[in-house]
Structure 1
Amino acid sequence: MPVQLFKKMTFSSVYQKYMIPVSNEIINMVLSYVKVKTNGQPLEMAVDVGCGTGRYTLPLAPHFKNVLGTDISDSQIHVAKQYNSAHNVSYMVAPAEKLPLKDACVDLVNAGLAAHWFTVDKFVNEAARVLKTNGCLAVHAFYPATEIEYKELSGDLTALMIEVWDTLFLHVDKTTDHMLCQYQNIYEAVPLKDKKWITDIPVTIQMSIPEIIGFIQSVYMCQVFIEKDVERAEHFLLQTEKRFREILGEKADSARLTAHMKHYCVLACKQ
């Protein structure tokens, strides 16, 4: 089962190093929503569920008195404590469907790049349980597709990235269905009346060729590929890098490519 990959230290390290950067657009959207719904009151507690290596946990720290990151993976929590710690941030191994929190104690339940791995109905009901009145739920991720822009070479680079995703999609898990519908099913499952679903949020990232290859490695589908056939997977990664370099030519080492991605977000408030 792909979720077991996240329990391996080798993957946790790759994920921390190469997964695309935290989206400031999403973080700002979530925080603005919380501040409106809580009428600007001091924010006591946030919990980042399925926090992984803490990449979406740490940005919450300046805005809450305490932040708790939870994940089912010991290795992800270990890396989170190593790289994404702060004085008011703590981490705990716990499932998304059974949070180690009392009723109505949390201002924000956040899940970034994670909710597609949860048992959705149990998670959203657990989130509703721990939220205070006017507390908020935010779940968000990105659509598995990437447009690459670089001068007159954008068409060729994007075509190559489409081929990459086509190969990765040979190793999908059913959880990818949640991502392909941009969390519509999660939005529909949220048991709170005050909710909204935002799709196609544009996010751009500047990346080098090594960073793009690293990002490909950090996608769970690539890790499944590696587990199935390490020799073919390594050949795929080497050939992909070679083709990027062939397209860019002498600019390959210095080029900063613009990756265009689509994020989406489900926001809800407990009335």
Structure 2
Amino acid sequence: MAHRLFEGKEHAASYWRYRISPSDQLMQQVFDFLEKQSAPPFELAVDVGCGSGQGTLLLAKHFASVVGTDVSPAQIEVALQHAAQPNVTYKQCMAEELPLADGSVDLLTAMSAFHWFDRPRFLREAHRVLKPRGCLALLNYTIDMELSYPDCCSDTLNQICKEFYAALQPYRSPHLGQSSINLYREAFESINYPDKQWQECVWDRRTMPLSSFMGLVESFSSYQALLREDPQKAVGLSQDICKRLMSVMDVTSAETEVVVAVKYFYLLASKPQET
């Protein structure tokens, strides 16, 4: 069954504010793979489990039409509020039941969402809607992000981060197992397409305020589970971690910018011409 965890209005708003999307460089790897399978121009891209739509917007300039889908009305509402590109639309629907014609999609993406789907059903649905030579791209990143700050010991910063992640580990959904990367690797092995690619580690570095890094971690399902169970404990943990990081950095403002290194993994697969 699919898992529905990100549907509250406040959580949806925090998704738009704090959740990151793949960099242009990382997305270019997806587009390069697609262009090896079939020549542009491309008609339709669909971003499944789009959340508040940050990743969906990255597709707009590469396709005549882009559709973002999500099961959550609150997430779709936030995405619509920020839908600036005229060729991007959104639909509320289940990932396993897409309102799309057979063989109609050039690129089907799921960015940090596939692990919540009914994975076998979704992969069958992806096969149905993809055009021959159309591509499936499933991307995700891990919680073990690393921080760096000028003239500051990164090892000390990241030890504090590791303590934060470890404190959240007991609240991690059992559905994900020890690491969601195993779910993606299993999916890659199960896809019976000759043209496919697996990448286990791509570091994507970006600069953001420390407060945004904290907000990003707080948007993860494990922190949200702790917040539901014990709000005081969750807020206290986050505040303590932030204060300790600021102390090591020797700064007084959580708006101080840090470099956050995010570890992505992804699978790419192209539906064969004849199936």
Give TM-score, length-normalised by structure 2: 0.92
Following superposition, the deviation at residue 254 of structure 1 comes to: 6.6
State the partner residue of 1:213: 214
When structure 1 is superposed on structure 2, of 187-196 and 86-95 the one drifting more is 187-196
Where do 1:248-259 residues align within 5 Å?
248-250=249-251, 252=253, 255-259=256-260
Following superposition, the deviation at residue 255 of structure 1 comes to: 4.0
CA contact (8 A) 2:108 2:135 kept: yes
- Distance (Å, rounded) in 1 between the aligned partners of 2:2 and 2:223: 10
State the partner residue of 1:20: 20
Verify: 1:154 aligned to 2:166, yes or no: no
When structure 1 is superposed on structure 2, of 101-110 and 190-199 the one drifting more is 190-199
- Distance (Å, rounded) in 1 between the aligned partners of 2:248 and 2:31: 40
State the partner residue of 1:52: 51
State the partner residue of 1:174: 174
- Distance (Å, rounded) in 1 between the aligned partners of 2:17 and 2:142: 20
Following superposition, the deviation at residue 215 of structure 1 comes to: 1.1
Q: Any idea what the Cα deviations from partners look like across 1:190-234, whole Å, max 9, x if unmatched?
A: 232321111111111212221111112111111111001111111
Q: What residue ranges of structure 1 are gaps of 5+ in the alignment?
A: none
- Runs of 4+ aligned residues of structure 1 deviating over 3 Å after TM superposition are 1-5, 250-255
Following superposition, the deviation at residue 175 of structure 1 comes to: 3.9
- Distance (Å, rounded) in 2 between the aligned partners of 1:41 and 1:157: 45
Give TM-score, length-normalised by structure 1: 0.94
Where do 1:223-242 residues align within 5 Å?
223-242=224-243
The alignment's C-alpha RMSD in Å is 1.9
Following superposition, the deviation at residue 19 of structure 1 comes to: 1.4
- Distance (Å, rounded) in 2 between the aligned partners of 1:23 and 1:91: 22
Where do 1:77-226 residues align within 5 Å?
77-150=76-149, 151-177=151-177, 179-181=180-182, 183-226=184-227
CA contact (8 A) 1:2 1:224 kept: no
Following superposition, the deviation at residue 3 of structure 1 comes to: 4.3
When structure 1 is superposed on structure 2, of 111-120 and 79-88 the one drifting more is 79-88
Aligned to 1:90, the other structure's residue is in SS state strand
Following superposition, the deviation at residue 24 of structure 1 comes to: 2.1
CA contact (8 A) 1:120 1:189 kept: no
